[in-house]
């Protein structure tokens, strides 16, 4: 007997092929001075291969949305489906596996692991997945060379590289487990314009090869790389 | 192993702090191991030298109706002696006089213990290294320490009190004993002692028990016969004393080991502190690795590895120092480090190391748990 599920009205017409689906996703933070509504019944459908920019003023809920899609957090109410998995029903370990296997993160601060070398930073998610092998090793190397690093840089610690180079390493790391989705939080925010353009071209290239990209930015020029822009104001998406 | 590698690098990055935490563990392990080790070796050494005495039952008068008046030392009466001889048979009862007197060797003066023993029973009590046992009433055996000190050979004459006595033999060195301590003593015939000091009754009786397993039977039959109405005598067996000493040593050793444990506790606090610092400093890093797919237990493992590495190094070095230090200390104190190699002594090295490791892991548990349960979003935002 099939269980009858009531879907919110906003999801009418949503495709079953969507890689990301938000159904009235709401996030409320309980703070000492009262509850804060960070995200208010957001409905969103993202098809495979889309490139979406999320824009909005500070404190509008952009980061909350990205955290929810990135499975770093779960909605207070409503549902979020990533690759068919309802994140609200998943255990912490299952959410972690989802991040590891299906999502690549690119941060404004690059967020590389300072104790590991450039090569090890890229290998790390692969090792987590248990694909530690000599073959895997060459995959990380290939990827790093492909994003424009030289062989000599691979043994360096991240701090020894320029911002642009670090962001390239971060892109290689995000791609190593061949995820379906790339989540970028102000990927060019800490880079000069020329480097930022190079990084954006690289992301565009990645998107052309089929990866879904969701990018938070407040820079309209950067948002222009995306094919669709979603604006968040006061927790509501438009 | 990527987590192990991260732990290793974190320790290396903060090497001074890690080194100090390890030093704490080393001190704690050394304190526990060496205390236990020395205690065990000393117990073994004492047991060894005491058990050479053999199994004797010592019967000492405790006053009561045997004493003529309160000022006089109690003694074994003829009636009591006869009863003892009868109930302990076929084991031999050796009655003896026990005293001390001034001695003169040439111009040198000293004090010596004196034992008056029946001539035919002297060889039951001691072994002669050189010479023979006294036959008549005028000879004496001299203890090894005393003989060494004044270079006395069989045939020498020494003065005991006012009388001159001829040394017929030198006894073998015997070490400390419960029944008699002949090393710094003279053994004379009971008749010589009795005439010289005007004493008719013996001071104590020692029963040499042939079969160790009979010791309890002998003890009980003496007590049953002599202490039927009043407690006339105290009956002590060497095994009982030995047990008492071993127990006492064990208690002292346990006590000092416990004090050593306190230093390990302090070391545990320092490991806890170091691990908490490590977690606090790496909050951002924890946020990064959690966001890119590291599970909670993997984060926990990473920090536990860190504690484990510190604990292993500390315990290993501590164990090594305890072994070498124990060897040196025993060589100096006992002049013999062989007691270190007995299993019950060596046991204290892995014991101390094990406790050291346990303390480290327990101390590292909370920081690791805290790291694993950080909210990844907040950790990522941490600067």
Q: Render A155-214 in DSSP notation, one character per residue.
A: GS-GGGS-HHHHHHHHHHHHHTT--SEEEEESTTTTS-HHHHHHHHHHHHHHHHTT-EEE
CB contact under 8 A, A115 and B13: yes
Nearest CA in chain B to A114: B285
**Among the listed ranges B88-102, B176-190, B358-372, which one has the minimum average pLDDT value?**
B176-190
Pairing of strands A212-216, A51-55: parallel
Query: Residues of chain A whose C-beta is under 8 A from some C-beta in B?
Result: 67, 70, 72-73, 92-93, 96-97, 99-101, 105, 107, 111-116, 120, 123-125, 127-129, 132, 173, 177
Q: What is the pLDDT of residue A7?
A: 74
Q: Which residues of A touch B292 (CB under 8 A)?
A: 99-100, 105, 124-125, 128, 173
Q: What is the pLDDT of residue A132?
A: 64
CB contact under 8 A, A112 and B288: yes
Mean pLDDT of chain B: 87
Nearest-Cα distance to chain A for B270, in Å, is 24
Give the closest of B2, B292, B296 to A105, CB-based: B292
Give one word for A34, left, alpha or beta, with left for phi > 0 and alpha for psi -120 to 50: left
Q: What's the CA gap between B167 and B165, in Å, rounded? A: 7
- pLDDT tens-place string over residues B14-47: 999 999 999 999 999 999 999 888 888 888 887 7
Residue of B45, B47, B44, B43 whose CA lies nearest to B238: B47
Reported as half-sphere exposure (CB side, CA atoms, 13 A), residue B161 has a value of 12
Query: Quick one: how many helices (H) and strands (E) in chain A?
Result: 7, 10
Reported as half-sphere exposure (CB side, CA atoms, 13 A), residue B362 has a value of 13
Nearest-Cα distance to chain B for A114, in Å, is 8
Q: What's the CA gap between A201 and A187, in Å, rounded? A: 12
Q: Which residues of B touch A99 (CB under 8 A)?
A: 291-293
Q: What's the CA gap between B74 and B58, in Å, rounded? A: 15
Which has more pLDDT, B295 or B211? Answer: B295
Q: What's the CA gap between B88 and B206, in Å, rounded? A: 11
CB contact under 8 A, B292 and A100: yes
Contact A128, B298 (CB under 8 A): yes
Nearest-Cα distance to chain B for A14, in Å, is 28
**Segment B302-330 mean pLDDT:** 94
Give the closest of A72, A93, A177 to B295, CB-based: A93
Give the closest of A105, A115, A124 to B9, CB-based: A115
**Segment B220-232 mean pLDDT:** 82
CB contact under 8 A, A107 and B296: no
Contact B293, B382 (CB under 8 A): no
Contact B7, B210 (CB under 8 A): no
**Segment A124-137 mean pLDDT:** 73
Nearest-Cα distance to chain A for B46, in Å, is 56
Q: What is the pLDDT of residue A27?
A: 94
List Cβ neighbours of B178 (8 Å cut-off, separation of 6 or more): B50, B53, B56, B58, B236, B238, B241
**Segment B360-375 mean pLDDT:** 95
For residue A124, the tally of other CB atoms under 10 A from its CB is 23
Q: What is the pLDDT of residue B67?
A: 45
CB contact under 8 A, A105 and B291: yes
Is the link from the previous residue into B349 a cis peptide, with omega within 30 of 0? no
Q: Which residues of B touch A113 (CB under 8 A)?
A: 6, 285, 288-289
Nearest CA in chain A to B7: A115
Look up the pTM and report it: 0.75
CB of B239 within 8 Å of a chain A CB? The answer is: no
Contact A68, A39 (CB under 8 A): yes
Q: What is the pLDDT of residue B66?
A: 45
Q: What is the pLDDT of residue A4?
A: 54
Alpha helical stretches, state H, A70-161: 92-102, 118-128, 134-146
Write the secondary structure of A127-145 as one string of H (helix), E (strand) and C (coil): HHCCCCCHHHHHHHHHHHH
Question: Cα–Cα distances in Å, from B27 out to A223, B80, B322, B346, B351?
Answer: 61, 59, 10, 18, 14
Domains and CATH numbers, chain A: 9-237 (3.40.50.300)
Residue A137 banded pLDDT, cuts 50, 70, 90: low
- pLDDT tens-place string over residues B44-84: 887 776 665 567 888 888 865 444 554 566 888 888 888 88
CB contact under 8 A, A115 and B10: yes
CB contact under 8 A, B10 and A67: no
Q: What is the pLDDT of residue A145?
A: 92
Q: What is the pLDDT of residue B253?
A: 86
Q: Provide the chain B residues 271-300 that lie in CB contact (below 8 A) with chain A.
A: 284-285, 287-296, 298
Q: What's the CA gap between B138 and B18, in Å, rounded? A: 76
CB of B11 within 8 Å of a chain A CB? The answer is: no
- For A236, the 3-state DSSP assignment is strand
- For B338, the 3-state DSSP assignment is helix
CB contact under 8 A, A70 and B290: no
Give the closest of A67, A125, A132 to B292, CB-based: A125
Q: What's the CA gap between A141 and A122, in Å, rounded? A: 8
Sheet of A103-106, strands arranged across: A103-106, A181-185, A212-216, A51-55, A228-233, A236-237
């Amino acid at each position: 007997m099939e269980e009858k599920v009531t879907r919110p009205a906003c999801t009418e017409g949503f495709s079953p092929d969507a890689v990301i689906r938000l159904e009235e996703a709401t996030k409320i933070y309980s703070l000492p001075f009262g509850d804060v509504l960070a995200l208010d019944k957001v409905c969103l459908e993202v098809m495979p291969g889309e490139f979406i920019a999320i824009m909005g003023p500070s404190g509008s809920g952009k980061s909350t949305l990205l955290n929810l899609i990135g499975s770093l957090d779960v909605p207070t109410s409503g549902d979020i489906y990533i690759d068919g998995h309802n994140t609200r029903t998943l255990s912490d370990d299952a959410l972690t596996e989802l991040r590891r296997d299906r999502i690549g993160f690119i941060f404004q601060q690059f967020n590389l692991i300072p104790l590991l070398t450039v090569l090890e930073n890229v290998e790390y998610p692969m090792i987590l997945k248990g694909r530690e092998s000599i073959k895997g090793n060459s995959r990380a190397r290939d990827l790093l060379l492909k994003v424009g690093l030289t062989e000599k840089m691979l043994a360096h610690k991240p701090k020894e590289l320029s911002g642009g180079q670090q962001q390239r390493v971060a892109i290689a790391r995000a791609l190593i487990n061949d995820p379906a989705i790339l989540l970028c939080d102000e990927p060019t925010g800490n880079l000069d314009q020329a480097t930022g353009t190079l990084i954006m071209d690289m992301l565009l290239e990645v998107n052309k090869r089929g990866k879904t990209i969701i990018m938070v930015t407040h820079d309209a020029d950067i948002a222009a790389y995306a094919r669709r822009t979603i604006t968040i104001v006061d927790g509501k998406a438009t | 192993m990527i987590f192990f590698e991260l732990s290793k690098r974190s320790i290396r990055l903060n090497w001074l702090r890690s080194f100090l935490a390890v030093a704490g563990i080393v001190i704690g392990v050394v304190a526990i191991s060496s205390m236990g080790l020395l205690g065990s070796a000393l117990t073994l050494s004492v047991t060894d030298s005491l058990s050479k005495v053999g199994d004797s039952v010592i019967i000492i008068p405790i006053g009561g109706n045997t004493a003529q008046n309160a000022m006089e030392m109690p003694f074994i009466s003829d009636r009591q002696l006869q009863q003892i001889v009868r109930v302990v048979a076929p084991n031999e009862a050796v009655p003896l006089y026990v005293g001390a007197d001034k001695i003169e060797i040439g111009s040198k003066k000293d004090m010596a213990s004196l034992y008056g023993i029946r001539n035919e029973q002297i060889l039951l009590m001691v072994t002669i290294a050189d010479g023979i046992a006294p036959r008549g009433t005028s000879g004496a055996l001299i203890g090894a320490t005393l003989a060494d000190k004044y270079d006395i050979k069989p045939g020498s004459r020494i003065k005991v009190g006012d009388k001159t006595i001829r040394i017929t033999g030198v006894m073998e060195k015997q070490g400390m004993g419960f029944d008699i301590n002949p090393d710094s003593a003279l053994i004379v015939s009971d008749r010589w002692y009795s005439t010289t000091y005007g004493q008719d009754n013996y001071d104590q009786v020692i029963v040499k028990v042939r079969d160790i397993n009979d010791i309890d039977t002998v003890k009980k039959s003496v007590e049953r016969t002599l202490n039927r109405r009043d407690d006339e005598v105290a009956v002590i067996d060497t095994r009982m004393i030995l047990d008492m000493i071993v127990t006492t040593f064990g208690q002292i050793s346990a006590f000092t080991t416990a004090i050593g444990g306190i230093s390990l506790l302090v070391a545990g606090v320092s490991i806890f502190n170091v691990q908490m610092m490590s977690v606090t400093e790496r909050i951002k890093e924890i946020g990064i690795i959690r966001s890119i797919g590291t599970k909670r237990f993997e984060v926990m493992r990473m920090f536990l590895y860190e504690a484990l590495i510190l604990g292993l190094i500390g315990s290993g070095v501590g164990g090594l120092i305890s072994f070498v230090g124990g060897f040196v200390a025993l060589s100096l104190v006992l002049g013999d480090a062989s007691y270190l190699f007995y299993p019950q002594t060596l046991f204290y090295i892995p014991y101390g190391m094990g406790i050291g490791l346990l303390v480290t892991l327990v101390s590292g548990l909370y920081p690791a748990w805290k790291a694993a349960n950080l909210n990844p979003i907040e950790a990522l935002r941490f600067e």
